[in-house]
Amino acid sequence: MMNESLNLIMVGRKKRKRRFILVTTLLAIIAFVLACTMLMLGNTIYPAQDVIRVLLGENVKGASFAVGTIRFPRMLAGVFSGFAFGVSGYVFQTMLRNPLANPNVIGITAGSSAAAVFCIIVLHASNTVVSIASVVGGLAAVFIIFMLSKGSSFSIGRLILIGIGIQAMLSAIISYLLLIGQSQDIPTAMRWLSGSLNGSKMEHIYPLILTVLILAPFIMALGKRLDMLELGEQAATSLGIPTDKTRLALIISSVLIIALATATTGPIAFIAFLSGPIAKRLVGVGFSGIVPAGLVGIILVLASDLIGQFAFVARYPVGVITGILGAPYLLYLLIRMNRKGDL
């Protein structure tokens, strides 16, 4: 009887593993196809062989500038920011056991944006200073939110409500900065608010690429501990997980990558909010959804950018398209959670 139970457990685990590998592979293939499509499509459509020649360093008339200078940085910005938003959103939602507890909703990206807009409009700072301020703003926002929500005991619901309040306050500050800003600074600041891949340059993307390449493996290494935190504080502690240290490490690393992503592309709406639930639904239980969530984030950003650029007569920033996709889901989730009494 025991052997039969063990066999059933092993068979179930193998099925879940095959599903995880299949889903992750398909997501990676879709992300790769979308990235290639971004390199080929534009005012002029270049064949794949010309794109490959440009990427290999050859000088191809017309394609070298369009692909190498404009489309390639734009694609990299979409890939790495999408992965960063997806991973950080998944970490917060899993760690706090609430789909609303993502960096967009609880005000972390608003902290990064407010700091960046202040540097752009008031200080007229360089891109390097803006990026640093974005990281500091995100860390400051998450520190304030967690301190205010601590109280006598930690409450996830209290954290979300305080985060929404902080986000509203920071949004008001951003609106005021836009009112007092000079006309030449407004377009740059508006890019932060809408979320856009327009004007991406390699020198602006390097900090994001480096941060993701360093911190993403670190977050993945904590994947099992993250899954334990989803079981609750007592369960994770009983399993030997140092909850405070693990939570602190996950928060700092996630805030860093999402702050750098915000510094590069602006706060692209709802990517952090949607990626985790989609990845969990596709992958199922039993395996960490960190990598699938990052791949879903890439797919959402690249697909939304292609839609915004080529599906309509006018061209729209990627954040406009993701906002259209994410807003109905947010309303649905709020209504459902209110009915269940989770709010």
CB atoms within 10 A of CB 210: 12
Higher per-residue pLDDT: 338 or 78: 78
Q: Look at residue 152 and tell me whether its pLDDT is greater than 70.
A: no
* Mean pLDDT lowest among 12-16, 67-71, 140-144, 221-225: 12-16
The predicted model gives 233-259 an average pLDDT of 81
Which pLDDT score is estimated for 112? 84
Task: Indicate the pTM of the whole model.
Answer: 0.88
**How far apart are alpha carbons 199 and 176 in whole angstroms?**
25
Higher per-residue pLDDT: 7 or 48: 48
Domain ranges of the chain: 14-340
- Mean pLDDT for the chain overall: 84
Contact by Cβ (8 Å): 79, 264:
no
Which pLDDT score is estimated for 44? 85
Single-letter code of the amino acid located at 181: G
Which pLDDT score is estimated for 288? 81
What are 250-283's pLDDT values in tens digits? 888 888 898 888 888 888 878 988 888 888 888 8
Contact by Cβ (8 Å): 192, 113:
yes
The predicted model gives 296-318 an average pLDDT of 90
Which pLDDT score is estimated for 212? 93
**How far apart are alpha carbons 167 and 108 in whole angstroms?**
8
As a whole number of Å, the end-to-end CA separation of the chain is 44
The predicted model gives 165-187 an average pLDDT of 85
Would you state the structure tokens that stand for residue 215, as one six-digit string? Answer: 């911190």
Give the CATH fold of the 14-340 domain: ABC transporter involved in vitamin B12 uptake, BtuC (1.10.3470)
Kindly indicate the confidence band of residue 35, based on its pLDDT and cuts at 50, 70 and 90.
Answer: very high
Nearest to 173 by CA among 129, 137, 124: 137
Which pLDDT score is estimated for 340? 64
Which of the given ranges, 26-40, 63-77, 227-241, has the highest pLDDT on average? 26-40
The predicted model gives 161-170 an average pLDDT of 86
The torsion region of residue 48 among left (phi > 0), alpha (psi -120 to 50) and beta comes to: alpha
Would you state the structure tokens that stand for residue 75, as one six-digit string? Answer: 């694609």
The predicted model gives 16-22 an average pLDDT of 87
Q: Look at residue 220 and tell me whether its pLDDT is greater than 80.
A: yes
Contact by Cβ (8 Å): 154, 234:
no
DSSP string, 292-303: HHHHHHHHHHHH
Count of helix runs (H) and strand runs (E) in the chain: 15, 0
**How far apart are alpha carbons 250 and 254 in whole angstroms?**
6
What are 69-102's pLDDT values in tens digits? 889 999 999 999 999 999 999 998 888 887 777 7
Kindly indicate the confidence band of residue 126, based on its pLDDT and cuts at 50, 70 and 90.
Answer: confident
* Mean pLDDT lowest among 58-62, 126-130, 166-170, 213-217: 126-130
